[in-house]
Amino acid sequence: MRRIGILTSGGDAPGMNACIRAAVRTALAHDLAIVGIRRGYTGLIGADTIPLDRAAIRNTIHLGGTILETSRNPDFYTRDGRLRAAAAIERMGLDGLVLIGGEGTFHGASLLAADADTAALVGVPGSIDNDVYGTDYCIGFDTAANCAVEAIDRIRDTARSHERLFFIEVMGRTTGFLALESGIAGGAEELAIPEEQVSVARMSERIREGFSIGKKSAIVVVAEGKTPGISFHLAREVKKHLDFDSRVVVLGHLQRGGPPTLRDRVLGSLLGVAAVEALLEGRSGCMVGEVGGELAYTPLEETWQKKKPLNEDLRRIFTILSD
């Protein structure tokens, strides 16, 4: 192992820069040359690299987004695109590659490994959705969840002042991790997540009961699911059962940006070091994550083939605490 590359792919997540920084410093500490690949798989196919040294990653740990930039490249989901990427890896002289991203990133990496005998591949989970199997938390989730909680706190002030019902939509794609944890932390009255069937009638009745015992406002946290903006539909359906004035707030990409929290900086640093050390140990075709406070290595295929379950204890306590 003499020369490695690092890229970020898919959606950006706060803490990615902390991971890049840690990987670069670890590589240099072991006398490895390391290059950054710009714009994810787009840059990999085009061999678009930038040199990475201590100067390049100085004063980046606090920055959101990714200094390497990112993209989603449909060409990489074709065999021709992956073979072009494999050829580019050979031209760049890379012995190993650190891939920071989510399910789509690791799916692509699995296909690349199946199509070509190329550099060793080690993944690092970076996704605000926190939906990657093989790690308790992904880089970026904590920052996004804290952003959602701050929004809930702010909206609750105006909801209480106007005695109003609010629907707050958070990201999460097809999973409810963001909605569940921000809903608990924000004291939400109701939750709508993809993992549970939403009964508008039952939700409306619980909201009605809350107002009948003296509540002056209510917050419903909604996971965007496959259809961003679903909160507007849900609000219209609830309106058919309740004659309450309601408002919808869609947080959207606001949750992606901003400085990473302490947790995401530490997690990014931990996994960045672990990824490079995994390459040095001869590992390949795996993702390094954190499970139960310990490093865990999961085959890349499992990270996107297996569905990561919600924490059942958190689902249970939300029901108790939201009464």
Q: Which member of 12, 48, 129, 264 is catalytic?
A: 129
**What is the C-alpha separation between 156 and 247, in angstroms, rounded?**
12
Distances in whole angstroms, Cα of residue 182 to Cα of each of 154, 179, 223, 246, 294: 13, 5, 10, 20, 25
Strands (E), the chain: 3-8, 33-37, 49-51, 96-101, 120-125, 165-170, 190-192, 218-223, 246-250, 286-291, 294-299
Is 136 catalytic? The answer is: no
Number of Cα atoms under 13 Å in the Cβ half of residue 123:
36
Residue type at 78 in one-letter notation: T
Name the phi and psi angles at 290, rounded to 5.
Answer: -125, 120
Residue 179's nearest CA partner among 47, 52, 318, 281 is 318
DSSP 174-239: T--HHHHHHHHHTT-SEEE-TTS---HHHHHHHHHHHHHTT---EEEEEE-TTSTTHHHHHHHHHH
Q: Tell me, what DSSP letter sits at residue 170? A: E
Q: Provide CB contacts within 8 A for 120, sequence distance 6+.
A: 1, 95, 96, 97, 279, 282, 283, 284, 285
C-alpha dihedral (75, 79, 81, 82), degrees to nearest 10: 120
Distances in whole angstroms, Cα of residue 93 to Cα of each of 2, 4, 86, 297, 313: 9, 8, 11, 25, 48
Catalytic residues: 129
